[in-house]
Chain A
């Protein structure tokens, strides 16, 4: 698979380390609320596991060490979009 890095252009997926769904960005923040244990359980262990387009985190370990959000089909492996994870997070209102 070739990942079209927004800054560096097309790179072999071998240069990257795969983490998983972008759901992993949204770590529960309020550990004091009564349902916090359940929130963390959902975050850490339960997966959407979609058959189709998913957004996922790839780390460019052997490149510029950036985190990317790759939109890729789990049925065909076709990549339809690549963006920097920091841009993706800022759009969602996070600091980084």
Chain B
């Protein structure tokens, strides 16, 4: 097992001794014949974080993470890397605030540089009604200890003179900012959690697709995979984007539709944007990566899809949103665009819950907000898997909440997943 501690001293030492002392970041494992206490299906950010916190917080180390491709090949490497805890509803806000607090200490905790950059996030406001809604949200954030800042138009203009303040349709009247929000190097999150989990004894098994569940008398006894059957006392599915496909193998239907969401990056530019700016009214948001590319995104393609690619109308929509609020973006050339499949739930909020099959658990429905939730999702899922009780900030994320009328609908658009 690798126990190398990363530090400036270690980098210096390796630089002077020909880089011969580095070890693989994590151990590439094969399935154990006698099975596991817990199998996590899905080696994305959430799955790896779950395995890490199972081992670290609960001492459960006989754990395997099964990944169909290679770890981090799904949405953890496809998102736009933003972290924030600016939610309104009590079912959500404490959860996302826990997540942001975990982000703030993640590098020290993992001894891994995930490049957490608390550069701040700013939501633009264009009308009195929107101002009221955002001030209400800001108060909710203050209650949860998340902090926020209300900026008048003058302050927004001073900070970001390139914004089109007098846009004919959406003039900028103010903004709600969360200075603690920001961005994180997303691939490093997968690698850092993989390393942390692997060091604590977790088996990370790549190229191992789950093809079925062994269920007897309503109890899950393990999984069938492309590397053979693997026994487990408990199975936690954590495959947002593919939840419908995977849970169908256990005969479970979900309040989720799969949709494709595209993201974009321009060529590298000199530093122009030291913040994350969201233009919700125009379906556009943007930040600048450390390499200099403007990273931006917008709405879903709006039709159900499991294809990790989108179509041109959504590209045009996002780019026109960018041109409307930030006309200077028209001078930049687009370098890359890509798509990821997201679990769109019926109220726009996620699930961390047990299922009707005993010993089979489910984590998914992250819509397009999964990345920022990674640490808290793993933390709370591990808590549920280890103790059978939902973590106190994740009690609302139950699969039966629609039956009970207890939706967590931040946007208030009802059960129309492509609008959340």
Residue numbers of A with Cβ under 8 A of B are 1, 12-14, 18, 20-21, 37-38, 41, 44-51, 54, 56, 72, 74-77
Contacts and interface: CB of A to CB of B under 8 A. Distances in A.
Contacts of A56: 303-304
Contacts of B257: 20, 47, 49
Contacts of B244: 47-51
A11 to B, nearest CB: 13
A18 B302 contact: yes
B250 interface: no
Contacts of A1: 303, 311
Given A18-B303, A49-B304, A51-B245, A74 B258 contact: yes
Given A45-B415, A49-B304, 7 more contacts: A18-B418, A37-B403, A44-B402, A45-B403, A46-B255, A47-B256, A74-B258
Nearest to B414: A44
Given A45-B255, A49-B256, A77 B304 contact: no
27 contacts: A13-B303, A13-B311, A14-B313, A18-B418, A20-B304, A20-B417, A41-B402, A41-B403, A44-B402, A45-B403, A47-B253, A47-B254, A47-B256, A48-B244, A48-B253, A49-B244, A49-B254, A49-B256, A49-B257, A49-B304, A51-B242, A51-B245, A51-B258, A54-B304, A74-B305, A74-B307, A77-B305
Interface string B236-268: 000000111100100001111110000000000
Nearest to B346: A45
B306 interface: yes
Contacts, number: 70
Interface string B271-282: 000000000000
A67 to B, nearest CB: 15
Interface residues of B, number: 26
Interface of B: 242-245, 248, 253-258, 302-307, 311, 313, 346, 402-403, 415-418
Contacts of A37: 403
Is chain A's binding surface mostly helix, strand, loop or mixed? mixed
A49 B307 CA distance: 13
Contacts of B255: 45-47
B377 to A, nearest CB: 20
Contact of A46 (B253, B306, B307, B416): B253
B396 to A, nearest CB: 16
Contacts of A76: 307
Most buried by A among B244, B254, B303, B402: B303
Contacts of B243: 49
Nearest to A38: B403
B250 to A, nearest CB: 14
